[in-house]
């Protein structure tokens, strides 16, 4: 997979940008606050329809565009996939009340859940340490995005689940304030269990796959001194015999299959649904009293253990940073293994945060024709042999110009 062309209009500090990516490795050099991170953010936004930094989509629209009658931002990309050339675009239209998001794939309007996976990316940022040390919500969002890039059906199921969860929580609050027949919850319970069972099964299988990949990666990064394990901490009691079936039986691609396709009611998605339903029944009174759903994918977490110690709570900053890099490298391998496509690596000024050995391992992950777009304030963290094979651009105030390295001919955007 390759990002061949990127077009931005009124996005962040880019009033207008047209950029061709002709080589696998692109290195963007510039001082802070010049637009390096904004460019990577644009690529990630086109891949996932979400920003790793902005709290609202309104922040993404260039402030000068607010002088227009209808402020807007447009992002477009041409993506060379394994099967065909795809064109994806997102237009953000701002009005007094909200920002409208219009997504198109090859000119046809699509939902956000249909966009994810068209452009596969793995983003490395200095803030990735917050993925380990931060809130469970950040780790859930990470898992959701990673799995959605592997299988778009997960994104659709997640969207359905969130809508059902909103409706169910609204009804729980109503029953708390105005007591009524609790059987009104039966319909929403069935919907919640159906979609939630699929999501948890997907997540557990994905974490198991990441766990296998991350152990070798982390051992290399730490010189064999640490053994990293991933743990999916579920709000449902999946640690009995039924829960163990979840780890043993389910291929990732089959998680969304029907009972007939899976062949037996003992398949993991069915196991999760059965346990989920029992827990909703057992805790119905408590949930009405609280006015919220107390279990399900929205309450789960991903934890990182070294020697049995929870690194989210007790890890040093250095350990947490190394774990974040190990996780992203494992994600890269998982996407490649499951989809047959190389994800595009987006590295935002992470080299300066690493020691020489970790920089070496990270650069080793960029191989062959795999595309990588890298930002840096200076080039001192990169080996000359690496710079010789990269296309070098300098960014200043949202403007990009080519840079020649050691006599290499300039390559313009």
113 neighbors 162 (Cβ within 8 angstroms): no
CATH class of the structural domain 136-340: mainly alpha
β partners of residue 3: 79
What average pLDDT does the chain have?
89
Whether the domain at 1-120+351-413 and the domain at 136-340 fall into the same CATH topology: no
Please tell me the distance from the alpha carbon of residue 359 to that of residue 352, in angstroms, as a whole number: 9
pLDDT tens string 199-216: 999 999 999 999 999 999
Residue predicted with more confidence, 220 or 258: 220
Please tell me the distance from the alpha carbon of residue 351 to that of residue 361, in angstroms, as a whole number: 11
Please tell me the distance from the alpha carbon of residue 345 to that of residue 337, in angstroms, as a whole number: 15
| Of residues 359, 361, 369, the one with CA closest to residue 389 | 369
| Of residues 212, 194, 201, 209, the one with CA closest to residue 238 | 201
Whether residue 325 is predicted with pLDDT greater than 90 in this model: the reply is yes
Q: pTM of the entire structure? A: 0.89
Please tell me the distance from the alpha carbon of residue 243 to that of residue 182, in angstroms, as a whole number: 29
Q: What is the pLDDT of residue 83?
A: 78
In CATH, the architecture of 1-120+351-413 is 3-Layer(aba) Sandwich (3.40)
Residue predicted with more confidence, 407 or 271: 271
Both tokens of 116, joined, read 């994810």
Q: What is the pLDDT of residue 173?
A: 97
93 burial type by CB count under 10 A (0-12 exposed, 13-18 middle, 19+ buried): middle
Strand segments, DSSP code E, in 116-261 are 121-124, 228-233
Distance of CA 348 to the CA centre of its chain: 15
pLDDT tens string 259-300: 333 333 445 788 889 889 999 999 999 999 999 999 999 999
Q: What is the pLDDT of residue 139?
A: 98
Q: What is the pLDDT of residue 409?
A: 42
What are the structural domain ranges in the chain? 1-120+351-413, 136-340
- Determine the 3-state secondary structure of 80 from DSSP: strand
223 burial type by CB count under 10 A (0-12 exposed, 13-18 middle, 19+ buried): exposed
77 neighbors 5 (Cβ within 8 angstroms): yes
Both tokens of 275, joined, read 């346990």
């Amino acid at each position: 997979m390759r990002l061949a062309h990127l077009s931005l209009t009124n996005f962040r500090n880019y009033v207008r940008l047209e950029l061709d990516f002709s080589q696998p490795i692109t290195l963007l050099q510039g001082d802070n606050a010049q637009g390096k991170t904004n460019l990577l953010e644009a690529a990630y936004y086109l891949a996932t329809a979400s920003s790793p930094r902005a709290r609202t989509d309104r922040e993404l629209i260039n402030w000068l565009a607010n002088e227009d009658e209808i402020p807007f931002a447009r992002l477009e990309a041409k993506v060379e996939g394994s099967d065909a050339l795809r064109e994806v675009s997102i237009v953000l239209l701002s009005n007094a009340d909200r920002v409208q998001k219009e997504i198109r794939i090859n000119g046809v309007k699509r939902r956000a859940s249909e966009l994810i996976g068209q452009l596969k990316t793995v983003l490395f940022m200095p803030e990735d340490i917050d993925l380990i040390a931060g809130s469970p919500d950040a780790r859930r969002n990470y898992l959701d995005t990673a799995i959605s890039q592997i299988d778009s059906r997960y994104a659709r199921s997640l969207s359905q689940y969130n809508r059902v969860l909103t409706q169910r929580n609204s009804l729980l609050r109503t029953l708390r304030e105005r007591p009524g027949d609790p059987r009104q919850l039966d319909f929403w319970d069935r919907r919640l269990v159906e979609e939630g069972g699929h999501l948890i099964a997907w997540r557990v299988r994905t974490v198991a796959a990441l766990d296998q990949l991350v152990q070798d990666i982390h051992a290399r990064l730490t010189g064999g001194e640490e053994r990293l394990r991933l743990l999916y901490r579920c709000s449902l009691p999946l640690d009995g015999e039924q829960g163990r079936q979840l780890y043993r039986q389910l291929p990732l691609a089959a998680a969304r299959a029907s009972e007939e396709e899976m062949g037996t009611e003992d398949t993991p998605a069915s196991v999760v649904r059965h346990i989920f339903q029992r827990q909703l029944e057992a805790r119905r009174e408590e949930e009405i009293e609280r006015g919220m759903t107390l279990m399900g994918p929205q309450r789960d977490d991903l934890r990182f253990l070294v020697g049995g110690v929870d690194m989210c709570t007790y890890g040093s900053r250095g350990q947490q940073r190394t774990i974040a890099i190990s996780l992203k490298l494992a994600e890269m391998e998982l996407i490649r293994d499951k989809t047959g496509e190389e994800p595009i690596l987006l590295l935002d000024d992470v080299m300066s945060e690493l020691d020489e050995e970790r920089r070496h391992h990270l650069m080793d992950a960029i191989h062959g024709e795999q595309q990588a777009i890298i930002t840096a304030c200076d080039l001192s963290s990169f080996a000359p042999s690496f710079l010789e094979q990269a296309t070098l651009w300098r960014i200043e105030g949202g403007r990009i110009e080519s840079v020649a390295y050691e006599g290499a001919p300039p390559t313009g955007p």
